[in-house]
Amino acid sequence: MELLKRILYILFYPGLLYCFVGGLVLAGIDRKLLARMQKRVGPPIWQPFYDFFKLLGKETIVPRNAAKRAFLAAPVIGLISLITVSLFIPVFKFSPFSTYADLIVVIYLLTIPAVALIVGGSASGSPYAGVGISREMVAIISYELPMVISLLAIAKKVGLELNNGIMTFSLSQIVEYQAQNGPLFTKLSMIPAFIAMLLVIPCKVGSLPFDIAEAEIEICEGPLVEYSGAPLAIFKLNHAIKMLVMTSLFVTLFLSGSGTGILAVDAILQFILSIVVVFFSITILKAITARLRVEQTLRFYWTYPTALALLSLILVYFGL
Amino acid sequence: MLLMNYITCIILIVLGLYTIVTKKNAMKIVIGMGLLDYGINLLLISVGFKAGGTAPIFTISELDRTSFFVDPVPQALTLTSIVIGACVTALALALVIMINKHYGTLDTDKVRRLKG
Amino acid sequence: MTQHLPILAIITLFIGAFIVALIKEKNEVLRNTVVLIATFMSFIFTLMMYKPIIGEGNIITYWMGNWEPVQNWAIGIGLEVDQLSLFFGLFISLSIVLSALYSFKYIEKETGKDKYYVLFLMMSASVMGFIFTGDLFNMYVMIEIMTFASVALTAFRNNKPEAVEAGFKYIAIGSIGSSLILLATVIIYAQFHTLNLAQIAGELHNNYTITTLFALALMVVGYAVKVFAVPTHFVAPDAYMTAPSSISMLFSGIVNKAAVYGILRVLYVVYQSMNLPSVQFMLIFWGTVTMFIGVTMALAQHDFKRLLAFHSISQIGYVITGIGLATALGITGGLYHALNHTLFKGLLFLCAGAVYYATGTTDLDKLGGLAKRMPQTALIFIIGAFSISGIPPFNGFVSKWIIYQASYEAGYAPVTIIALIVSVMTLASFIKVAQSAFFGQLPKEFKNVEEVPLSMRVPMWIMAILCIVGGIFPSSFTKYLITPAANAVMNSAKYVEVMMGPEFASKFYNNLGNAPVIDYKLAGYWQPIAWLILFGILLLAFTLVALLGGFNPKHFSYSDEEDAKYDVFYSGESAEFSHVGGSDLFWGLKYQFRHYFDLMHKIHNGVVNDYALSVVLTAAVVLLYVFTFVR
């Protein structure tokens, strides 16, 4: 019985089906909002679904120079790890699988899709892919620092109260803390970390102004240049699911609470909050900025968001 | 008084280190390694000295309560250390010969293809 | 029989070296068999010691020549094997067996093979002797044999000028380090007139004088030269780069770990300085600087083995930081990372050796696209690269996570942050190597390379499987191997008691009780079995989709037909071969930090005098620090 319930969680909610539908809807809403902000009509909200099923029907061409198994396995590995991450993010007190230190595992599993993109691009054997993966790697180096510092700050703050002063990395404990004391972004010491994480999300998701790794105009989409057909569809799906997972994680960390207690209402509430976060962090920045070069990205992330996150860490140590 | 011994071995050790750090000829560096070893050996021997003691070489029947000899352990350790020093000097000199064969010079400013 | 096991484990290797020296070039098969039997027997003897030591918690002591202590004064050389020694001994003897297996085919084309095997067995025997001994001067002698054999093996390919140059630099700097260790031994002997570690530990208890502090500083610097910590690390990249790969694996796997074991024994068991915050701070600072400089230098290299050498230096920084934290969790993390480092770094060096065997070069600017011709080596390399970067579910993730947690809980938050950045940069440099050497386009001169022979692949597969197993079942590793070792470090009273007898130890120690229990509550980071089940179920779901025709398989035929559909897209330009790899990658990062990289390249200038100067300066700084702060 328990096993059957777990399989249902994996396949339907918050697993495969939810990620698939929710991720593509989120990507569609993002495109529609961007178009409206630029005074265009824009594609319908279901456009990513049409794109996905169209790509599934196209021919998959594997270049002669490519390492075939790595080339074909990379998107699938990325998808599997993204779905596994989504199973661990609690939705306002409902969490199908929760362990002691799931925040760390979530963060580490979130590097696997980026690494899968890198390995896939590398395996394709194209020089454009080579340039693209080195930029993607520098992007990973740049956003790891502020993200990790903000997470350390959150862990220490929640642990001070709920875990006898040692830091805690359990997402369910973070939700419990917010249920008792209000969402984390209302605390003074957490506001710099809030802004830092908000700035980290576009780089992780791969959208302007930090999408140097997949620049369509400069390097013909970088690591994805030799992909076509079903693997390309899965990479685009990964992109959409990453948006959903990152914003869900952000909502759980900063905007969570006790919720209503009914699973359906909680799920819809979390999804609406995800849309709001996508609007503020991804769409607005996409509409009003241009692309940064890779060394500018590194310099930006290692000065401003890092300073904000460090400020948050110091404030937490002072007990605010 | 062993003060002279201790001062000498400190001078030897410092001179050995100075030679390795400043001299540019590979042969002189090997001599510096040897100086360092000999200074430490001298220190080792001086540690075991007892004023008025004899050499610690006895057969079982001669050994009794009144025999007063210097500490035998450092003497054994020094023998080991001298042998090790000789082996290291031999290996280093073999390497110096090969360096001369390959590079044609013994100047350490020129023997540096591995850098960065 | 169990009494004699330690000495047997050491002597089989020495006797093997002697027999190989007698056989010389006459009979190759006999010589290879002797080497294999000697290393394998040593491993079996070490395994047989597992049950009495870790299973029942005893400590085996063995006085050579049966010279028992007289009236509580040790007069013979004693071997003492406790859980810490056995932990190191187990994975060291396993590395020796695997390296011997690998070197049979690897050095077939070289000349002077019998001398290689003699030196190989001498080096292995001296490391085993160093781990199992309980006598201070014996430690010095074993370190000297190890250095001597290592230098000779570095210069093994003496038809290459670089190898001879690296050997000369190694012996110049290594002998300074050994002399510092000998000087410290002499000073300790002058103070206590005994050489037995347990007796010295008893008499040093809470009793530091100026001479013992002087000896402590010199010992620490001497062992730091052997472990290649920054700033005494300058010789390491040269030596690792030019030695044959099976020997480089031993350098990074057992020579480094022997020096780490030396630091642990001297600082924590003999000097019992675990609760001194000044020593803790010194080790943590040293470890962090080593980590950071190691990995940043590695990003700028373009030779495969030199890059791996700088990563070795960086990972040893992790181990020293873990040990320096001196909490139970920190020491567990440090020891576990030492074990993992031997496994994955050995794997990576063997891959580099396979590439060299197949293509004849290790320059990343010239290689490319080898994954199509050597698929198994590429897969093993990816496993090793993900292990060293700390990606789940491999074993690097587990040990790095324990070190992060221990450092954050002990209050050293900057260390956690620096350790995380170093981990990400490690991933960056291995992606660079994967793109330059294994993926991409195959140059014309390597069109016919073949996969390496089976006897070279077997040790690589064994290590890769151990990496994966270590990542999936970390709790069994910690329960059976590492917790007993960490307990042995924290409970040095038992060490003294078993060696010298209970009346001696109780004169100096208040309680001969057990060590504090390690709290694993937060370190139960994740349940890997659950993850594996999840991955399995999802994989199953995808196989279902694929079987239903989700991925059309008939369009995968990429034959050698000249159809332009299967060419790589060049956006209309007429280049036929352009491979982005080697120095072309990470250009933006290197440009951003060009001042730092210029400074670092100028410091690593290859002149042996400057390297010796840095060792002397380190010794001076550590001496000043120890005299001022350690009470």
ipTM of the complex: 0.95
Chain B residues inside the 8 Å CB shell of C182: 40, 81
Percent of residues, chain C, with pLDDT higher than 90: 41
Domain boundaries, chain A: 2-317
Whether residue C586 lies inside any domain: the answer is no
Mean pLDDT, chain A, integer: 84
Lookup: tokens for B39: 């200074």
Q: Please compute the mean of the pLDDT values over residues C116-132 and round it to a whole number.
A: 93
- State whether C609 and B20 contact (CB < 8 Å): yes
The pLDDT-based confidence of C617 (bands split at 50, 70, 90) is: very high
- State whether C525 and A65 contact (CB < 8 Å): no
Closest partner CB to B47 (pick from C186, C241, C604): C186
Q: Please compute the mean of the pLDDT values over residues C568-586 and round it to a whole number.
A: 72
Q: Is the pLDDT of residue C125 over 90?
A: yes
- What residues contact residue C598 under an 8 Å CB cut-off, 6+ apart? none
Q: Is the pLDDT of residue C1 over 80?
A: no
> In C, residues 592-611, which contact B (CB 8 Å cutoff)?
601, 604-609
> How is C227-274 classified by DSSP, letter by letter?
HT-TTS-THHHHHHHHS-HHHHHHIIIIIHHHHHHHHHIIIIIIS--T
Smallest Cα distance from A200 to chain C, Å: 16
Q: Is the pLDDT of residue A295 over 90?
A: no
Domain boundaries, chain B: 3-50+68-103
Whether residue C290 lies inside any domain: the answer is yes
Is C500 in a helix, a strand, or coil?
helix
Structure confidence at residue C73 (pLDDT): 80
Q: Find the range with the poorest average confidence among A59-68, B21-30, B93-102.
A: A59-68
Q: Is the pLDDT of residue C522 over 50?
A: no
- State whether B21 and C189 contact (CB < 8 Å): no
Smallest Cα distance from C168 to chain B, Å: 6
Say which amino acid occupies C342.
T
Structure confidence at residue C523 (pLDDT): 45
Is A54 in a helix, a strand, or coil?
helix
Q: Please compute the mean of the pLDDT values over residues C182-187 and round it to a whole number.
A: 93
Distances (CA, A) of C313 to C181, C288, C338: 21, 11, 12
Give the structural domain span for C525: 2-535+598-629
Mean pLDDT, chain C, integer: 84
Distances (CA, A) of C125 to C15, C32, C141, C143: 9, 17, 12, 11
Distances (CA, A) of A212 to A130, A133, A222, C308: 13, 10, 9, 29
Q: Domain B3-50+68-103 is in which class?
A: mainly alpha
Lookup: tokens for A214: 């997949």
Say which amino acid occupies C418.
I
Structure confidence at residue C169 (pLDDT): 93
Structure confidence at residue C560 (pLDDT): 54
The pLDDT-based confidence of C15 (bands split at 50, 70, 90) is: very high
Smallest Cα distance from A211 to chain C, Å: 15
The pLDDT-based confidence of A291 (bands split at 50, 70, 90) is: confident
Specify the residue for token string 């006897």.
C455
| Sign of the four-CA dihedral C76, C81, C84, C88 | positive
B106 C-beta neighbours (distance < 10 Å), count = 17
Q: Is the pLDDT of residue C494 over 80?
A: no
Is C148 in a helix, a strand, or coil?
helix
Q: Where are the alpha helices (DSSP H) in chain A?
A: 2-11, 16-37, 47-56, 68-88, 102-124, 127-162, 171-181, 191-205, 216-219, 230-254, 263-278, 284-288, 294-317
Closest CA to A154 of C423, C408, C521: C408
Task: Select the residue from A122, A133, A226 to test the C interface by mutation, using most C Cβ atoms within 10 A.
Answer: A122
- State whether A295 and C378 contact (CB < 8 Å): no
pLDDT digits (tens, 9 = 90+) for C256-306: 999 999 998 888 888 877 778 888 899 999 999 999 999 999 988 888 999
Q: Is the pLDDT of residue B94 over 80?
A: yes
- What residues contact residue C612 under an 8 Å CB cut-off, 6+ apart? B17, B20, B21, C172, C173, C176
Structure confidence at residue B14 (pLDDT): 94
CA torsion C345→C346→C351→C352, rounded to 10°? 70
Whether residue C574 lies inside any domain: the answer is no
Q: At what angle do helices B72-103 and C161-192 cross, to 10 degrees?
A: 170
CA distance C560 to C567: 10
The pLDDT-based confidence of C207 (bands split at 50, 70, 90) is: confident
Number of domains in chain C: 1
Q: Find the range with the poorest average confidence among A136-140, A182-186, C191-195, C254-258.
A: A182-186
Name the β-bridge partners of C71: none
Q: Is the pLDDT of residue C518 over 60?
A: no
- State whether B17 and C176 contact (CB < 8 Å): yes
CA distance C128 to C93: 8
Q: Label residue C411 exposed, middle or buried (CB < 10 Å: 0-12, 13-18, 19+).
A: exposed
**A114-123, B90-99, C407-416: which has the highest mean pLDDT?**
B90-99
Structure confidence at residue A219 (pLDDT): 65
CA distance B11 to A314: 52
Percent of residues, chain A, with pLDDT higher than 90: 18
Q: Is the pLDDT of residue C506 over 70?
A: no
pLDDT digits (tens, 9 = 90+) for A210-249: 877 776 666 677 788 888 888 889 999 999 999 999 999 9
CA distance C54 to C86: 8
Structure confidence at residue C512 (pLDDT): 45
Q: Please compute the mean of the pLDDT values over residues B55-82 and round it to a whole number.
A: 84
Q: In terms of DSSP bridges, do strands C60-63 and C78-81 run parallel, antiparallel, or are they unpaired? A: antiparallel
Structure confidence at residue C526 (pLDDT): 52
